[in-house]
């Protein structure tokens, strides 16, 4: 596990960009942290690092999943499971089908579906107050 400190929004975006440059098709990243922790900001950075148009990356709280695709680039499937009760809800909606679609899945509130996350899913947890964040990363080889 590595721990990275972010002092502001730009630091978190930069970290996301670094992650986005090394992710591979089929990767699953579970993101946890309170409301406003910076999960969507990090995801925007990941999208940018992957070479996708990141300007419109917003929390898909109402849609559960947003798809970002661009010719010649690995797609990003951005989930927000905040409104789901548990993994059964996720399965009932058939959303696990996305895991096998050859994109990168980033799942805000991934803990909610923790029971069915594949064992090789990466996990990122964001905590902090004010503009400072502590971001713990497990399962992504950033070093």
Ligand X SMILES: Nc1ncnc2c1ncn2[C@@H]1O[C@H](COP(=O)(O)OP(=O)(O)OP(=O)(O)O)[C@@H](O)[C@H]1O
Interface positions with ligand X (CB under 6 A): 6, 8-9, 11-12, 33, 35-41, 59, 80, 108, 131, 133
CB 143 → Mg ion: shortest distance, Å?
Answer: 27
Task: Return the one option of ligand X, Mg ion, none that residue 140 interacts with (CB less than 5 to 8 A, by type).
Answer: none
Question: Bridge-partner residues for 2, per DSSP?
Answer: 137
Per the document, the length of the chain is: 143
Token output for 63 = 């849609």
- From CA 47, how far away is CA 42, in angstroms rounded? 9
State which residue, 17 or 39, has the beta carbon closest to Mg ion.
39
CB 71 → ligand X: shortest distance, Å?
Answer: 27
Buried b or exposed e, range 63-80, using 16+ CB within 10 angstroms: ebbbebeeeeebbbbbbb
C-alpha dist (Å) from residue 44 to 18, 69, 134: 12, 13, 18
State which residue, 19 or 100, has the beta carbon closest to Mg ion.
19
State which residue, 25 or 43, has the beta carbon closest to Mg ion.
43
State which residue, 50 or 135, has the beta carbon closest to ligand X.
135
By CB under 5 A, residue 127 contacts Mg ion = no
Token output for 45 = 């950075």
Task: Return the one option of ligand X, Mg ion, none that residue 112 interacts with (CB less than 5 to 8 A, by type).
Answer: none
Residues at the site binding Mg ion, with contacts judged by CB under 5 A: 39-40, 59, 108
């Amino acid at each position: 596990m590595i721990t990275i400190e972010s002092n502001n929004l730009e630091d978190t975006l930069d970290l996301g960009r670094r992650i986005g440059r090394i992710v591979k098709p089929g990767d699953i990243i579970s993101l946890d942290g309170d409301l406003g922790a910076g999960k969507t900001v990090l995801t925007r950075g990941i999208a940018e690092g992957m070479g996708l148009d990141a300007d419109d990356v917003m929390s898909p709280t109402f849609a559960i999943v947003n798809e970002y695709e661009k010719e010649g680039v690995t797609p990003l499937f951005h989930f927000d499971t905040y409104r789901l009760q548990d993994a059964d809800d996720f399965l009932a909606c058939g959303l696990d089908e996305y895991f096998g679609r050859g994109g990168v899945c980033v799942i805000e509130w991934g803990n909610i579906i923790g029971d069915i996350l594949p064992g090789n899913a990466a996990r990122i947890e964001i905590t902090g107050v004010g503009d400072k964040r502590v971001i713990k990363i497990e399962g992504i080889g950033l070093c």
